[in-house]
Amino acid sequence: MTRAQQIKYWTGTALATVAIAYFLARFLAARQPDFAKICHERKLVATSKSADPVDLAVVWDRNYYDNQGFIEGIDIAIDYLNLHGGLLGRPVTYTQYSEANTLKTARKIALNTRHSVVIGHNDSDTSIPASNTYNRAGLLYISPFATNPLLTAYGYPLVLRPQVQDEHAEKDFLKLLDHLQVRKIAIVSRLHHYMMAYHRYREKEAIGHGIQVVFSQSYSETKNDVPMLAYQIISSGVDCLLLIDELPQAATLIRHIRKQGGTFPIIGTDNFETGVDLNSLIEERLLNSGRILLITYIRELNQAKADLNWPPAEYFFQEIVRRQISPAAYDFICTSFDNVMLYAQGVQRAQSFNPIAITAAIKFGPPSQGVFGPYKIGLNGDAIGLNFVFKEYKNGAFHEFTID
């Protein structure tokens, strides 16, 4: 091939490559939502004088431990609002979306300009990627269960987290260890990046407090010999075990520890309050052979009820009795009810369905009210004023106790 032919060949190849890249970019751009246009359309819908129902987007799949409590909480909140005239005179409804494909679902919701708010996603793993899409589309997003600090670390103004974060539990965690007179602790977490991050928080705090961490490991039931793991924990001579796992999986390790004679206290987190009763997983004699405690943000419902004087809560407590809601679902039903009522309080303060106006009214207005008590939403979207509580498993349920 002559030099002229080589130049002609490579010039043609380069032009073909540029053309392909151009059309590929156009193709991909055509598939990307025009978020600026969507935000504008959403604002027009929000500020219209329409009497159409206010439609909330709810992302939730029924799973093995929530007993459908999350959807029950949404139903009760919407029933209460509609019994009292809806929101700004408009009836309230909701559309439920599946969480099977997080990003696909988030995009589908983002394109629907009837929605001004999204409530849902089961955990941090799904909430964090979805929050980016919602914020770009001008949607208010209220995350019920994401405790990973990354959710609000990106600074998305329309993302709210009305609950405490894991990293804020340090004071209460150390207070509980002092109460139990712990000097040697074992920390075990499920082999999951979120639980392992929580593991690192608590391990660092224990060491800084002068407590010796004599055993520290992440495990998986499919990769680890659980009876051997229980033996290793007991053999390390611990005063206490912090078990960062969820029920029902965590029950396997607890059962083996108790069977092998380990009677030291076992501390769990709110991951234990997944709607599964320990009595159905572990024999009563083993449950009674050592203390099982929790450090959690989830109030005991009877205690929360006694502390409230708020009409929506009175209706809420009447409904969970009338509907015969299982106590195992209280975490989910309380959380979803509070999420809807947070949005409703924002709408009423802003006198608008514009997500930006609602968010500003929530952040800059007075504290919002919820079943677990009043709380404020800070400028970064995180809750202020919600505290952790201590619980102990007795008589078939976890009950709050105080430490002086």
Most confident range (mean pLDDT) of 20-34, 39-53, 145-159 is 145-159
At residue 30, the pLDDT reads: 45
Nearest-angstrom CA–CA distance, 70 and 232: 38
At residue 38, the pLDDT reads: 85
At residue 164, the pLDDT reads: 75
Residue 402 within any structural domain of the chain: no
279 and 189 share one domain? yes
139 and 202 share one domain? no
171 and 226 share one domain? yes
Q: At what angle do helices 311-322 and 69-83 cross, to 10 degrees?
A: 130
Whether omega before 91 lies within 30 degrees of 0, making that bond cis, reads: no
Residue 133 within any structural domain of the chain: yes
150 and 109 share one domain? yes
pLDDT tens digits, one per residue of 82-125: 999 999 999 999 999 998 888 999 999 999 999 999 999 988 88
Q: Which of 244, 276, 296 is the last residue of a domain?
A: 296
149 and 175 share one domain? no
289 and 317 share one domain? no
pLDDT tens digits, one per residue of 352-367: 999 999 999 999 999 9
- Report yes or no: 307 and 42 within 8 Å, Cβ to Cβ: no
Amino acid at 39: C
Residue 331 within any structural domain of the chain: yes
At residue 159, the pLDDT reads: 97
264 and 331 share one domain? no
DSSP output for 45-99: HHTS---S-EEEEEE----TTTTTHHHHHHHHHHHHHHHTT-BTTB-EEEEEE--
- Report yes or no: 62 and 120 within 8 Å, Cβ to Cβ: no
pLDDT tens digits, one per residue of 316-347: 989 988 988 876 677 788 889 999 999 999 99
Residue 358 within any structural domain of the chain: yes
324 and 372 share one domain? yes
The overall pTM is greater than 0.85 = no
Nearest-angstrom CA–CA distance, 145 and 213: 29
Nearest-angstrom CA–CA distance, 138 and 85: 26
| 126 Cα distance to chain centroid | 9
State phi, psi for 294 to the nearest 5 degrees.
-130, 145
Nearest-angstrom CA–CA distance, 298 and 221: 27
Nearest to residue 386, comparing CAs of 149, 166, 152, 163? 163
pLDDT above 50 (res 4): yes
Residue 134 within any structural domain of the chain: yes
HSE-up (13 A, CA, CB side) for residue 272: 30
CATH number of the domain bearing residue 284: 3.40.50.2300
Residue 33 within any structural domain of the chain: no
Tokens of 75: 């139903």
Nearest-angstrom CA–CA distance, 160 and 182: 36
pLDDT tens digits, one per residue of 183-215: 999 999 998 877 888 899 899 999 999 999 999
45 and 151 share one domain? yes
Domain count, the chain: 2
- Report yes or no: 117 and 343 within 8 Å, Cβ to Cβ: yes
Q: Which of 296, 323, 356 is the last residue of a domain?
A: 296
Q: What percent of the chain is modeled with pLDDT above 90?
A: 50
Interval 210-229 mean pLDDT: 91
- Which residues, listed in sequence order, are joined to residue 293 by a DSSP beta bridge? 267, 392
Residue 375 within any structural domain of the chain: yes
At residue 170, the pLDDT reads: 80
Interval 33-53 mean pLDDT: 84
Q: Which residues contact 217 (CB under 8 A, 6 or more apart)?
A: 188, 189, 229, 232
Residue 23 within any structural domain of the chain: no
More confident residue, 216 or 271: 216
Amino acid at 243: L
Q: Which of 296, 326, 353 is the last residue of a domain?
A: 296
At residue 68, the pLDDT reads: 65
47 and 156 share one domain? yes
At residue 64, the pLDDT reads: 43
CB atoms within 10 A of CB 339: 26
What is the SS3 assignment for 236?
coil
Residue 266, domain extent: 167-296
338 and 243 share one domain? no
At residue 31, the pLDDT reads: 54
Confidence of residue 166 (pLDDT cuts 50, 70, 90): low
Burial (CB count <10 Å: 0-12, 13-18, 19+), residue 337: buried
Taking the C-alpha atoms of 384, 103, 67 and 246 in order, what is their torsion angle to the nearest 10 degrees? -70
290 and 348 share one domain? no
